[in-house]
């Protein structure tokens, strides 16, 4: 996991990054030191993106692949510590993708420093389940409604997308309400 992307309602001193940082602190509590472990904070709200010359898509990886910027979100660069990507300097070779996550599991993801697939047991003995509203059966062949091709589908995997709009769908990243009444939605950029 490379970055945490948070959306909470709330650089010409945009107030959104600070609002989202406070929401993130409330969400993770003492399980993760937001101030110590986050680097650059980038706001992708309409006002802050006004000078981006309509750049909504960038490229990264080897070979270069397109990915969409998380417009309407605030991105926190997160330093997860030493990983294979850091040791081998392969970050620039990695293709950008987003993973929608339920906000309440973000502290577990940050503490474990990894994503988990359904069936895995994570810190605290919590077993990851397929969320309600999603297919819960075993692997199967199905017709892909987008490509119109037959494909093998296994629901016991980590889902990623180069589109933050797709990762932010309710199936992947549900909006949750914090104790103070603010709503928060989370996705991870990997």
Q: What confidence score (pLDDT) does residue 186 get?
A: 94
pLDDT at 51: 66
107: left (phi over 0), alpha (psi -120 to 50) or beta: alpha
- How far is residue 22's CA from residue 34's CA, in Å, rounded to a whole number? 9
Please write the tens of the pLDDT for every residue from 126-160. 888 888 888 899 999 999 888 899 999 999 999 99
Reported as a single tens digit per residue, the pLDDT across 82-119 is 454 554 556 678 889 999 998 988 888 888 888 888 88
At residue 11 the predicted structure's pLDDT band, cuts being 50, 70 and 90, is: very low
Quickly list DSSP for the chain.
--EEEEE-------SHHHHHHHHHHHHHGGGS-HHHHEEEEEE-SHHHHTTSTT--EEEETTTTEEEE--TT-EEEEE---S-HHHHTT-GGGSPP-EEEE-GGGHHHHHHHTS---TT-EEGGGEEP-PPTTS--S--EEEE-TTT--EEEE-SSS---BS-HHHHTSTTTS--EE-TTS-EEEEEEE-
Mean pLDDT of the chain: 83
What count of residues does the chain have? 190
Measure CA 110 to chain center.
Answer: 11
What is the pTM for the complete model shown? 0.81
Residue 9: predicted pLDDT: 44
CB atoms within 10 A of CB 26: 15
Is the pLDDT at 72 greater than 80? The verdict is: yes
% pLDDT > 90, the chain:
26
**Other CB atoms within 10 A of residue 34 CB:** 18
Query: In this model, does residue 1 exceed pLDDT 80?
Result: no
Bridge partner list, 57? 68
- What band does 79 get if pLDDT is binned at 50, 70 and 90? low
């Amino acid at each position: 996991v490379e970055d945490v992307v948070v959306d909470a309602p709330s650089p010409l001193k945009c107030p959104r990054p600070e609002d989202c940082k406070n929401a993130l602190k409330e969400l993770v509590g003492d399980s993760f030191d937001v101030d110590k472990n986050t680097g650059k904070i980038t706001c992708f709200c309409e006002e802050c993106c006004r000078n981006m010359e309509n750049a909504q898509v960038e490229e990264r990886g080897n070979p270069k692949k397109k990915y969409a910027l998380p417009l309407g979100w605030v991105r926190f660069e997160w330093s997860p510590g030493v990983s294979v990507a850091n040791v081998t300097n392969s970050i620039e070779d990695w293709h950008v993708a987003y993973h929608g996550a339920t906000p309440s599991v973000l502290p577990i993801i940050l503490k474990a420093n990894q994503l988990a697939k359904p069936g895995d047991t994570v810190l605290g003995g919590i077993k990851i389940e397929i969320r309600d509203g999603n297919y819960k059966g075993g692997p199967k062949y199905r017709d892909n409604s987008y490509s119109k091709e037959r494909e093998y589908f296994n629901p016991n995997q980590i889902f990623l997308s180069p589109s933050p709009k797709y990762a932010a769908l309710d199936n992947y990243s549900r909006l949750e309400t914090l104790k103070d009444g603010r709503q928060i939605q989370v996705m991870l950029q990997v």
